[in-house]
Structure 1
Amino acid sequence: MMNGIKFLLLVFSMFLIGHSIKTLEFTIASSGHGRRKVAVAAAAQAPAPSKGQNQLVFADQRLAVVYPIIQKFKNIITSDPLGVTKSWVGPNICNYTGFYCETPPDNRSAIAVASIDFNGFQLSAPNLDGFLDQLPDIALFHANSNNFSGTLSGNIANLPYLYELDISNNQFSGPFPPAILGMNSLSFLDIRFNSFTGSVPPQLFTKDQLDALFINNNNFMQKFPDNIGSSSSHVLYLTLANNRFFGPIPRSISKILESLSEILLLNNLLSGCLPYELGLLNEAVVFDAGNNRLTGPLPFSLGCLENMEVLNFAGNQLYGMVPEVICSLGNLANLSLSNNFFIGVGPICLSLIKEGVVDVRKNCIPGLPSQRSTAECVAFFAQPRYCPYNMETYSYIPCFLPSFKSSHDHKHP
C-alpha cells in the first residue's frame, strides 16, 4: 500500500514539473501602450528556490531578486486602508496591485518590475529606504497622495533607468535630496506638497534631460536661481509656487524656457521689476507670478506671448498703464491684475474687463468699480519707485505686431 502511495506521489510530482516548463503568460503594463501579454519561459528563467521563499517559482530571476525587497517593504507599512498589499503575495509579482512589469533595456528576453504606481493608495510607511533604491530595473515611480516620510536614499542615483519620480503629497522632510542631481536619466520630478527645507541646488536647473520640475508647496527658502538660462535644458513645466523664493526674476529666464509651457511662481517673495525677456517665452501658455512683491510697469513685450492663455500678476505692487498689446493677445482667457496699483486701461482692456477676462479690481483706476481708496493710492505713489531698466526697455516689443508697431520694434534696448 505504501509503495503505491509513493508511486502516485512520484507521478504527481512529474506532472507538476512537466507543467512548470510550459510557457507562462503575464499581463504587464507597457509604458504608453496600455497592457499587453508577454510570454515568459518559466523553467528556463526561474531561480533555484530558497527556503525563505517557500519553494516559490518565479518567471524570471529579476523578479526573484526583488521579491524579498517588496516583502520587507510590505512589513514596514503601518497603514493600508484600501487593502492594497493583500495582493502582494506569491511569485506573480507582475500581478501585484501597483506593480507593472516590462522587458528591461539590457535584456529583451527578460522580465522585470519596470514601474510602480502607488498614486492615491494612502499607504503609510516611515521611509522608502531599502525599497525604491533597491529596484534595479525601475523606470517610473509614482507615489503621490500617500503618507511616506523620511528622506530619499542616496542610492537612488544608482538606478540607471529611473526617469519619472513622483513623491508628491507625502510627508518627506529635510533638505533637497542631493541624490536627485546624480540621476542622469531623470526627465520628470515631482516633489510638491512635502516639507523639504533649505535651498535647491543650482545644478537642478541645469539638468539637460529635465522636462518637468514640480517643487511647489515645500519650505524652500533662497534667492531665485540666477543660473536659469545657463544650460541647454528644455523645461516644459516649472513650478516653484508656495515656497519662499526671493529676489528678482532674472533676465536669463527666457533662454532656458524657450520651450516652456507653464511656469508657476505664485505665493513667493519675489521682488524687483519684470524683465522684458518674459516676452520671449514663445511657447508659454500659463504664467503665474501672483502674490509676490514685484513692482514696476508691465513690459510691452508681454504682447508677444501669442500662446498665452492665463497670465496672473495679481497681488503685487505693479503700476502704470495696462498695455493694450497685452489685452490684444489672441488666446488670452484670463488676465489677473487685481491688488496692484495700475492707474489706467485702454478701450481693448476695458472691453475685456466687461467680459470678465481681465480683472483689475483693487487698483487705482479712476471710473472703475472696486478700486483702492484714494488714500491708499496717494500713499503708494508718495514713495519713490525705481526700476533698473530704462523706459525704452518697457516699451520694447521683440516681435512684429502690425496693430502696435512702434519705433522700438526692431531696436534692442
Structure 2
Amino acid sequence: MAKSPMDTLQLSYIQIAIAFLLFAQAKSTTEHTSTPQPNDTNTACIASERSALLAFRAGLSDPANLLSSWKGDDCCGWKGVYCSNRTGHVVKLDLQGSGYTIDSDSRKVLAGNISSSLLGLQHLRYLDLSFNEFDKMQIPEFIGSLHKLRYLDLSMSMFIGRIPPQLGNLSNLQYLDLRSSYQDRDIHDGTYSTDIMWLSRLTSLEHLDMTYVDLSAIVHWLPVVNMLPTLKFLFLTSCQLRTSPESLQLSNLTSLETLFLVGNQFHQRSTPNWFWDLTSLKYLDISYNGFYGPFPDEIGNMTSMVELHLSANSLVGMMPSNMKNLCNLEVLYSYTSNINGSITELLHR
C-alpha cells in the first residue's frame, strides 16, 4: 500500500530524531573520553589567560547575560571556563548556546565577533561555540592556530562562507562538528568548501559532522575521507554530493560505525557502492539519494548493522535471503522502495 504524505512526513521526523539521538550519543562518548575535568577550587587563574577571556568577551553581544559571572580575578570559576587542576591553564571553553529552541523568548545565545584574543589560550583542548548566532560571520582562520584542540564544535551558529582550510592544522582533533545552520542551497547563505584536502591532516579524528555544508564543487571527496583511519562517526547529510564511488581500492575506514549520507544527489545504481564493504557499520542512512536498482545482496555481509535506512530511493526486487545474517538489526526503513518478499523470516530469526 502506498504511503500517504502524512506517513512520509512522520517517518521523516523519526529519521531526524534518530539522527539527533545518534549525534548526542556520539558527542557524549567523545566528551567522556576527551573532556578535561572541572577545575579545582584552589586552582589559580593565570592573569594573561584572564585578559584573553575578557578581550574575547568584549567582542561579544550577550543579551541573555550568559557571561555575567565573568568578573573578578578567578577566571577558573567563570561559567563555561575550565582550568587544569595541575597547571591552572584554561583547557576547556564551553559556551554552547540554546539557539533553535521552540520558544524564542527562552533562547540564550551569544552573538557579535569572535576575537583573536582566544589565541592567548594556547592550552585549550576543548572549544564549543555551537548553537549561537554569529550571524553572517565566517569561521575565523585563527582557530586553526589553537594546536592543542581535541574537540571543536562550531555547529548551528549561523556562520557563512568558506570553511577555512587552516582547520587542518589542528592535528590533535578527535571531534569536529561544522554543521551549517542554513539549509538554503544558496552558497552565500551558509558554509561551503571547494577543497577538503585539509581534512586529511586530521589523522586522529573520530567524529566528523559537515551536515548542510555545501560540498557540491568536490568530486573526489571519498579518497580524502579515507585518509582518516580512526573515524567512527561521519555525517554528510544534504551536502550536495554528486558522486559515490563503487569501491575503495584499500579502505582505511575499518573503525567507521555510523555513516549518514542522507539527501545528497547521487542518482546512480545502489550497487556496487563503497559503503557496502564497511562491515564495521552499525548505523547507515542513505535515504533520499536517488539510488536505484536491485536491493543489494551485500547487505547480508554487514553483520554489525543495528539500523539501516534506505527510504526514498528506487530500489526494486527481492529482499536478499542473506539478510537473516543481520542478527543485530533492530531498525529497517525502506519505504517508497518496490521490494518484494516477506521479512517474516528476518523478524523471527
TM-score (structure 1 length as normaliser):
0.65
Q: What amino acid sits opposite 2:208 in the alignment?
A: L
Q: Which has the larger radius of gyration?
A: 1
| 3-state SS of paired residue (1:218) | coil
Given the superposition, is the C-alpha separation of residues 123 and 264 from structure 1 closer, same or farther in structure 2, using an over 3 Å criterion?
A: same
User: How far off is 1:30 after superposition?
Assistant: 11
- C-alpha displacement at 1:249, in angstroms? 3.7
Partner of 1:393: none
Where structure 1 has 5 or more consecutive residues not aligned to the other structure, the ranges are 1-28, 41-58, 356-402, 404-413
Higher strand share: 1
Structure 2, unaligned runs of 5 or more: 1-31, 99-107, 182-189
- CA gap of 1:200–1:127, structure 2 versus 1, over 3 A, is farther
CA-based RMSD: 2.8
Q: Which whole-Å CA distance do the structure 1 matches of 2:312 and 2:114 have between them?
A: 39
Contact 1:276/1:300 (CA < 8 Å) preserved in 2?
Answer: no
- Cα distance per residue 1:203-242 (max 9 Å; x no partner): 4156311111001023332336141465362210000002
Secondary structure, counterpart of 1:173 in structure 2: strand
1:168 aligns with 2:155: yes
Which residue number corresponds to residue 243 of structure 1? 239
Q: Is the 8 A contact 2:303 2:328 kept in 1?
A: yes
**CA distance, structure 2, for counterparts of residue 39 and residue 253 of structure 1:** 55
Which amino acid is the alignment partner of residue 90 of structure 2?
V
The change in CA–CA distance for 1:98 and 1:185 in structure 2 (over 3 A counts) is same
| 8 A contact 2:284–2:308 mirrored in 1 | yes
- 1:327 & 1:224 partners in 2: Cα distance? 35
Matched, 1:141 2:148: no
Cα distance between partner residues in 1 of 2:266 and 2:215 = 13
Query: Which amino acid in 2 is paired with 1:157?
Result: G
Considering Cα pairs closer than 8 Å and 6+ residues apart, tell me whether 1 or 2 has the greater RCO. Answer: 2
| 1:196 Cα offset (Å) | 0.4
Q: Give the partner amino acid of 1:115.
A: K
Q: How far off is 1:113 after superposition?
A: 0.7
Structure 2 vs 1, CA of residues 160 and 33 (structure 1 numbering), >3 Å: closer, same or farther?
closer
Q: Distance in 2 between matches of 1:30 and 1:329?
A: 30
Name the structure 1 match of 2:336.
339
Alpha-carbon shift at residue 31 of structure 1 (Å): 5.7
Q: Secondary structure at the match of 1:263?
A: strand
Do the aligned partners of residues 79 and 159 (structure 1) sit closer, same or farther apart at CA in structure 2, a change above 3 Å counting?
Answer: closer
Partner residue, 2:279: 282
Q: Name the CA shift for 1:219/1:30 in 2 (closer, same or farther; >3 Å).
A: closer
Tell whether the 8 Å contact from 2:231 to 2:255 is kept in structure 1 after alignment. yes
Cα offset, 1:138, TM superposition: 0.7
Matching residue of 1:86: 68
Shift of 1:352: 5.4
Work out whether residues 310 and 333 of structure 1, in 8 Å CA contact, stay in contact via their aligned partners in 2: yes
**Residues 1:216 and 2:219 are matched in the alignment:** no
> 1:274-353, aligned counterparts within 5 Å?
274-275=271-272, 277-342=274-339, 344-345=340-341, 347=342, 349-350=343-344
The CA deviation string for residues 278-305 of structure 1, in whole angstroms up to 9 with x for no partner, is 3432221100010011122233221121
Match of 2:148, as an amino acid?
Y
Counterpart of 1:90, as a letter, is: G
Is the contact between residue 300 and residue 325 of structure 1 (CA under 8 Å) also seen in structure 2? yes
In the other structure, the counterpart of 1:256 is: 252
Displacement of 1:314 in angstroms is: 0.8
Report sequence identity in percent.
22
The one-letter code sitting in structure 2 at the alignment partner of 1:182 is N
Contact 1:226 1:250 in 2 (8 A): no
- For normalisation by structure 2, the TM-score amounts to 0.76
In structure 2, what is the equivalent of residue 75 of structure 1?
58
Question: Is residue 268 of structure 1 aligned with residue 271 of structure 2?
Answer: no
Q: Where does residue 139 of structure 2 map in the other structure?
A: 152
Q: Distance in 1 between matches of 2:33 and 2:54?
A: 24
Whole-angstrom CA distance in 1 between matches of 2:331 and 2:215: 29
